[in-house]
Amino acid sequence: MTSSSKKPALLPAMLTMKCPSCRRSSVFINKSVFPLDKCLALKDECEICGQRMKSESNNGGGINYALTMILFFLNLLWYWPIFGLSYKDNSVFIYLGVSTFVVIIAQPYLMRLSRMIYLYLYTSFGTSRRVNIEG
């Protein structure tokens, strides 16, 4: 097997926002999340394999909610040992404020990641219209 015919790895392809079918072409029109009003703009189909990217239910909203809650929990894992949490002072409210700030800053990337997870859940590798994805 040559390096061009090897199957690209799943996790790096998902995190770099590549096509779920061929894992080579970018899924989003803009590589960056900026400008924010176009950060979720998907290509109609993959340039390499022809996989259709857009569908009526392709929003990934539930996955975005789950990622947001995971991020709140991960913030608790670093915040609690460093600053501590107590019901006797306002540290819980400070934690919620800091976590909300972190989630708001990370939200454009979380929305893109949730859309990618959705695409990868409902599209299998090599299932595009074009049969030959090796070349």
Q: Which of 53-62, 90-99, 103-112 has the lowest mean pLDDT?
A: 53-62
Residue 84 — very low, low, confident or very high, per pLDDT cuts 50/70/90?
Answer: confident
CA distance 109 to 67: 11
With residue 113 as reference, give the H or E element that holds it: helix 91-122
Residue 28, classed as helix, strand or coil, is strand
Q: What is the pTM of this model?
A: 0.76
Q: HSE on the CB side for 108, CA within 13 Å?
A: 14
Residue 110 — very low, low, confident or very high, per pLDDT cuts 50/70/90?
Answer: very high
Placement of tokens 């800053």 in the chain = 105
pLDDT of residue 126: 63
Average pLDDT, integer, range 105-128: 83
Average pLDDT in the chain:
82
* Tokens coding 122: 């409902």
A 10 A CB-CB count for 98 gives 14
Average pLDDT, integer, range 55-75: 83
